[in-house]
């Protein structure tokens, strides 16, 4: 069966936006070609493989923060409001000398290797998800209403809607706890009902305005169900008539009276207008009153995992006000039974939240999470697999062969931290949609029908690997609050400023050419791309530029003698020309392996993995110079307009869809599908001075090639006046010499 492909909505009114996007899942895992426990050794050097290190200079392009792990003496308090040690940037004891832990760099690098090398999709949450979609206008709303209200009973479905309110299988009862177990004690059945509805205006004289989600003791006169016409015809264009079959009582008393029964009134709060501000249709104007427990009813046991699921869902923060009353022993509640009388779920209000049939991990194809497969990321970085009880497997644990040192501030300048009113800052609150925003997190292959977590794994899959867009020149006022905030929602950080440089080293042992090529490809991006690390990525923090220097050793030479002829330690380093040759060969071999695995190509194939559509999307997300404008990648707010936006379930575009939607000025910038492509430049004329990066790619005669810092011009450099000691990645000033777009050239400035 073919895998679903995401379809961007055509209408602007159906397009969503976010500071993140996704690189799609691969069609199949690219397994490590020659991995086996016999080949990969850790007790000796394998001369045919690569051993050495990579020196790294990591420069912050935007403010950057990685939280400190305080000493044991201060680690007991996890709250940075009261524990000032948790406010600091990670360090080795000196709070003024920031350090990026090697584990952070390792995680960043491994994530890119997993994407670029078509690794398994393992790190997906299997946490159960919940939803409530009373007024949802998408097909999820239809599912919810069918479950809680039953199908539309009208024979004139195009003219009216006719629902039970609720279906008879939705009942009222009370929570009972016995030791560690929870039960539901059903309420008395009176005139076929376990609870009745009461209009706000009929009960307000008794309860007054005492807040939200309260429970009150009242007496009610029982009522039977009757069809109520909500009278919506003619109020809104194309609005259908709404008929509800519900039991409503208008006879309420705060004192005991003849014929009245005691009940618990569940006051769940007022509700405003619904989607599209439709009058009356979704305005809540009734409370429910649950009759007393039925002494003859058999208690219904709540399974332990169902109770845990309910409790876990309460801890999830949501943008809009939701039912948050926690159920305690003796509290009234509502519960739903299936057709066989088994408990489906329960909640504190009548239209409570329901469990989805599937979690996010269910939407990862089985072929991408087989335990027996070993991908390149596992072969390089190692893994600990789950024990297979069906067999005695000695290869469950794979030891990594790369080792990341902490990145230490290089000490340049007096102060690496952001200044201003205070070096400590409170970042803006990240009010992001949760994974339940399925219109963002699941592939949407159909413009007319959204896929959600009840659609089933055969209908869709998760969007893929989540990454955040780069954002240049974001004002600090848009990243941080004007003052330190001490409330529970904000945090306190001490970020370093842009331009701060860290130095580190990655050591590796016994990597074959493909593995080294994968590692180098993840670290050495195209000149116009950047990595992301640390906190507050959605607001533009954490963009870093990485420059590398590869060193390879010959173990035989290293251990043949202790000292060199000049008295230094013998490292057995290979020569620079040999390292360049091996580096190019490793990257080329990795490129060829990936291209053979995924044969799809974009037009203008440049022979690298960036011409593969899937990897091109990764490149779009890594673009620094060609990133879309902030207005296209900001969060949608949670004000009146923002709430309407989320209710409409607008679909998130693909990365190239976001870039193309930004307009020609962004869409035509060089993208990852052609990372070294050129575009018209406002100053392509001979004699213009430009700042460039030296490329590893050389001319046929071995001459230098360069690309402008903004990535719009690329060409070869004439050899006259070439300075000494230059290397790939150096920033240099050049002069435009030849302006032919097909054969652009630079020259070195005359001394």
Instruction: Please indicate, yes or no, if residue 682 is contained in any of the structural domains.
Output: no
SS3 614: helix
Confidence of residue 720 (pLDDT cuts 50, 70, 90): confident
Question: Range of 168's domain?
Answer: 130-355
480, 603: one domain: yes
Sheet holding 170-178, edge to edge: 300-302, 181-186, 170-178, 332-337, 343-347
Instruction: Please indicate, yes or no, if residue 706 is contained in any of the structural domains.
Output: yes
For 26-88, what is the HEC assignment? CCCCCECCCCCCCCCCCCCCCCCCEEEEEEEEEEECCCECCECCCCHHHCCCCCCCCCHHHHC
DSSP summary character for residue 12: G
Q: What per-residue confidence (pLDDT) applies to 105?
A: 98
Q: What per-residue confidence (pLDDT) applies to 400?
A: 93
For helices 513-523 and 102-116, the axis angle rounded to 10 degrees is 110
Cα–Cα distance for residue pair 614/628, rounded to 1 Å: 18
Residue 388 has pLDDT above 70, yes or no: no
CATH number for the domain spanning 722: value is: 2.40.50
Which of 304, 330, 355 corresponds to the end of one domain? 355
C-alpha R_g of the chain: 32
Mean pLDDT is lowest, of 39-53, 289-303, 500-514, for: 39-53
Cross-strand bridge partners of residue 22: 466
Cα–Cα distance for residue pair 442/50, rounded to 1 Å: 40
Q: Which positions ≥6 away from 167 have C-beta within 8 Å?
A: 148, 149, 150
Confidence of residue 279 (pLDDT cuts 50, 70, 90): very low
Cross-strand bridge partners of residue 203: none
Question: Alpha helices, DSSP H only, in 598-638?
Answer: 613-622
Instruction: Please indicate, yes or no, if residue 291 is contained in any of the structural domains.
Output: yes
- pLDDT tens, position by position, 570-602: 788 999 999 999 999 999 999 999 999 999 999
116, 134: one domain: no
Q: What per-residue confidence (pLDDT) applies to 21?
A: 96
347, 411: one domain: no
Q: What per-residue confidence (pLDDT) applies to 670?
A: 37
Which of 327, 355, 383 corresponds to the end of one domain? 355
238, 136, 150: which is closest to 450 by C-alpha? 136
- How open is the CA angle 405-407-409, to the nearest 5 degrees? 150
613, 700: one domain: no
422, 508: one domain: yes
Cα–Cα distance for residue pair 746/728, rounded to 1 Å: 16
Q: What per-residue confidence (pLDDT) applies to 682?
A: 38
249, 394: one domain: no
Q: Which residue has the higher pLDDT, 70 or 268?
A: 70
Cα–Cα distance for residue pair 249/202, rounded to 1 Å: 9
642, 530: one domain: yes
Instruction: Please indicate, yes or no, if residue 174 is contained in any of the structural domains.
Output: yes
Cα–Cα distance for residue pair 312/505, rounded to 1 Å: 41
Which of 667, 701, 725 corresponds to the end of one domain? 667
Number of domains in the chain: 3
Residue 668 has pLDDT above 70, yes or no: no
118, 31: one domain: yes
Tell me which H or E stretch contains 587: helix 576-597
Q: By the 8 A CB rule, do 158 and 240 touch?
A: yes
Instruction: Please indicate, yes or no, if residue 435 is contained in any of the structural domains.
Output: yes
Instruction: Please indicate, yes or no, if residue 676 is contained in any of the structural domains.
Output: no
478, 602: one domain: yes
Arithmetic mean of pLDDT over the chain = 86
Instruction: Please indicate, yes or no, if residue 456 is contained in any of the structural domains.
Output: yes
311, 279: one domain: yes
Q: Which positions ≥6 away from 439 have C-beta within 8 Å?
A: 16, 450, 649, 650, 651, 652
81, 172: one domain: no
Q: Which residue has the higher pLDDT, 42 or 266?
A: 266
DSSP summary character for residue 695: E
Read out DSSP for 407-418? Answer: EEE---SS--B-
Q: What per-residue confidence (pLDDT) applies to 609?
A: 95
Q: Which of 28-37, 189-198, 262-271, 725-734 has the highest mean pLDDT?
A: 189-198
Strands 195-199 and 286-291: antiparallel
Q: What per-residue confidence (pLDDT) applies to 742?
A: 67
Produce one character per residue of 44-68: b if its CB has 16 or more CB atoms within 10 Å, e if not: ebeeebbbbbbebbbbbbbbbbbbb
Global pTM reads 0.81
159, 307: one domain: yes
Instruction: Please indicate, yes or no, if residue 471 is contained in any of the structural domains.
Output: yes
């Amino acid at each position: 069966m073919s895998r679903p492909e995401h379809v961007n909505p055509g209408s602007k009114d159906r397009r969503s936006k976010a500071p993140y996007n996704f690189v799609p899942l691969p069609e199949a895992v690219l397994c490590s070609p020659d991995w086996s426990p016999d080949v990969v050794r850790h007790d000796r050097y394998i001369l045919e493989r690569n051993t050495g290190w990579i020196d790294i200079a990591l420069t912050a392009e935007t403010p950057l923060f990685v939280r400190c792990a305080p000493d044991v003496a201060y680690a007991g308090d996890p709250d940075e409001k009261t524990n000032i040690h948790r406010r600091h940037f990670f360090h080795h004891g000196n709070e003024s000398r920031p350090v990026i832990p090697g584990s952070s760099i390792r995680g960043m690098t491994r994530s890119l290797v997993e994407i670029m090398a078509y690794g398994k999709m393992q790190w997906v949450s299997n946490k159960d998800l919940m939803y409530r979609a009373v007024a949802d206008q998408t097909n999820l709303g239809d599912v919810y209403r069918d479950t809680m209200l039953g199908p539309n009973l009208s024979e004139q479905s195009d003219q009216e809607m006719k629902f039970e309110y609720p279906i008879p299988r939705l009942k009222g009862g009370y929570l009972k706890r016995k030791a560690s177990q929870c039960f539901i004690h059903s309420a008395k059945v009176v005139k076929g009902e376990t609870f009745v509805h009461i209009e706000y205006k009929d009960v307000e004289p008794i309860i007054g305005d005492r807040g939200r989600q309260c429970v009150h003791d009242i007496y009610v006169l029982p009522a039977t169900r009757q069809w109520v016409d909500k009278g919506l015809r003619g109020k809104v264009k194309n609005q259908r008539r709404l008929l509800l079959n519900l039991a409503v009582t208008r006879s309420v008393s705060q004192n005991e009276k003849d014929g009245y029964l005691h009940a618990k009134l569940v006051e769940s709060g007022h509700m405003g207008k619904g989607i599209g501000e439709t009058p009356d249709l979704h305005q809540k104007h009734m409370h429910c009153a649950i009759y007393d427990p039925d002494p003859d009813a058999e208690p219904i046991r709540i399974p332990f995992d169902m109770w845990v699921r309910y409790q876990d869902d309460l801890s999830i923060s949501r943008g809009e006000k939701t039912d948050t009353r926690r159920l305690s022993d003796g509290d009234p509640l509502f519960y739903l039974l299936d057709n066989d009388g088994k408990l489906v779920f329960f909640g504190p209000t009548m239209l409570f939240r329901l469990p989805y049939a599937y979690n996010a991990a269910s939407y990862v194809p089985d072929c991408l999470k087989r335990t027996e497969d070993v991908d390149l990321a596992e072969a390089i970085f190692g893994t600990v697999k789950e024990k297979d009880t069906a067999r005695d497997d000695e290869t469950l644990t794979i030891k990594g062969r790369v080792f990341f040192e902490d990145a230490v501030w290089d000490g340049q300048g007096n102060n690496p931290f952001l200044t201003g009113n205070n070096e400590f800052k409170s970042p803006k609150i990240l009010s992001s949609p949760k994974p339940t925003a399925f219109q963002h997190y699941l592939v949407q292959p159909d413009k007319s029908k959204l896929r959600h977590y009840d659609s089933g794994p055969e209908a869709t899959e998760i969007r893929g690997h989540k990454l955040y867009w780069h954002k240049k020149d974001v004002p600090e006022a848009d990243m941080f609050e004007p003052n330190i905030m001490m409330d529970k929602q904000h945090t306190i950080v001490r970020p370093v400023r842009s331009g701060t440089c860290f130095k580190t080293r990655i050591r590796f042992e016994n990597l074959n050419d493909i593995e080294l090529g994968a590692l180098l490809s993840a670290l050495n991006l195209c000149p116009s791309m950047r990595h992301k690390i640390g906190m507050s990525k959605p607001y533009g923090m954490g963009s870093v530029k990485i420059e590398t220097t590869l060193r390879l050793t010959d173990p035989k030479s290293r251990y043949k003698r202790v000292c060199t002829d000049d008295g230094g330690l013998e490292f057995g380093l290979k020569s620079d020309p040999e390292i360049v040759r091996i580096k190019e060969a490793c990257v080329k071999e990795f490129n060829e392996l990936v291209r053979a695995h995924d044969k799809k190509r974009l037009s203008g194939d440049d022979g690298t993995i960036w011409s593969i559509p899937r990897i091109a999307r990764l490149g779009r997300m890594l673009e620094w110079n060609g990133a879309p404008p902030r207005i296209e990648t900001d969060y949608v707010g949670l004000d009146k307009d923002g709430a309407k936006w989320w209710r409409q379930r607008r679909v998130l575009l693909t990365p190239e869809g976001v870039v193309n939607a930004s307009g020609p000025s962004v869409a035509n910038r060089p993208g990852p599908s052609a990372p070294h492509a050129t575009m018209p430049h406002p100053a392509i004329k001979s004699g213009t001075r430009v700042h460039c990066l030296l490329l590893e790619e050389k001319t046929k005669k071995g001459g230098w090639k360069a690309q402008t810092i903004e990535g719009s011009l690329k060409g070869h450099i004439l050899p006259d006046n070439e300075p000494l000691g230059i290397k790939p990645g150096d920033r240099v000033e050049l002069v435009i010499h030849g302006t032919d777009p097909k054969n652009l050239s630079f020259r070195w400035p005359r001394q």
